[in-house]
Amino acid sequence: MSIANISPLVRMADKLALHAPISVEDRVSLLELPYASRFFEAGSYLLRDGDTRDQCGMLVSGFAYRHKINVEGLRQIVSIHIPGEVYDLQQLHLATADTNVQALTRCEIATIPHEALRRLAAERPSVAHALTVTTIVELSMSREWMLGIGRRDARTRLAHLLCEFAFRLDKHGLPPGQAYELPMTQEQLADTLGLTAVHVNRVLKGLVNDGLIVHNRRGVTIPDWAVLVAQGGFNSRYLHMNPPDAIVRPPDHA
């Protein structure tokens, strides 16, 4: 089977398997879900506060960010989404969205009808469980971010975020990959950290000067994982990831 014929839904199955046991049969049933695929340019809204949906959207490629805006127009980014994640799973249970989701880069979206997903969840409790765990992990992550914004200083906050990205983007080996793409502007970083762009610039340069990270155009590399982890006070437990060998693949996919 050529790469071109692999369903984009494998990304979703892989992602679910990071947090909950997914059997071979579960995986097959996920790949049989109906879907439609489409591209969005960077900056497009994938979901708007107040929207109603009858389909779920999964990021096949690219990045997206979720944000809220207060009465003064200030923006707070409350989560970043990476490929394989369903960014509007909650709309399966709630009538209207309470956040905005915007494309961070150009990205490909696969949409799956709510009805099909509901049917699958009803038939396969393990899939339903995996979807629920997904939401719970999002909750856990948002609490960790609250701790950061409320009780960590700017430098620690930024280091922690960079660790989190490294960990989540990693194929799940240890230690996480030393280099990754970070397509966020300093203003966007500021809005996720509860800082200003100017201060992000200061702190970012501080981390670079002190050799904790290398930050060349659009990418970050981490020379010493342990050092950055220490600076960020990072502990991956809140991400609730399974050990890598918990990921089960159908035999024909190996």
Partner DNA sequence: TACCATAACAAACATATGTTAGTCCGACAA
Partner DNA sequence: TTGTCGGACTAACATATGTTTGTTATGGTA
Q: Which of 82, 169, 197, 246 binds DNA (CB under 7 A)?
A: 197
By CB under 7 A, tell whether 194 contacts DNA: yes
Q: In 10 A of CB 171, how many CB atoms?
A: 8
- Does residue 195 interact with DNA by CB under 7 A? yes
Take residue 197 and report the two structure tokens written for it. Answer: 């762009």
196 binds a copy of itself (CB under 8 A): no
Site string for a copy of itself, 71-110 (x = CB under 8 A): xx-xxx-xx----------x--xx---xx-----------
Q: Which of the choices DNA, a copy of itself, none does residue 238 contact, using the CB cut-off of 5 to 8 A by kind?
A: a copy of itself
Considering beta carbons, is residue 153 or 245 the nearer one to DNA? 153
**Does residue number 138 form part of the binding site for a copy of itself (CB under 8 A)?**
yes
Residue number with CB closer to a copy of itself (13 or 101)? 101
Interface residues with DNA (CB under 7 A) are 153-155, 185-187, 190, 194-199, 201, 203-205, 217
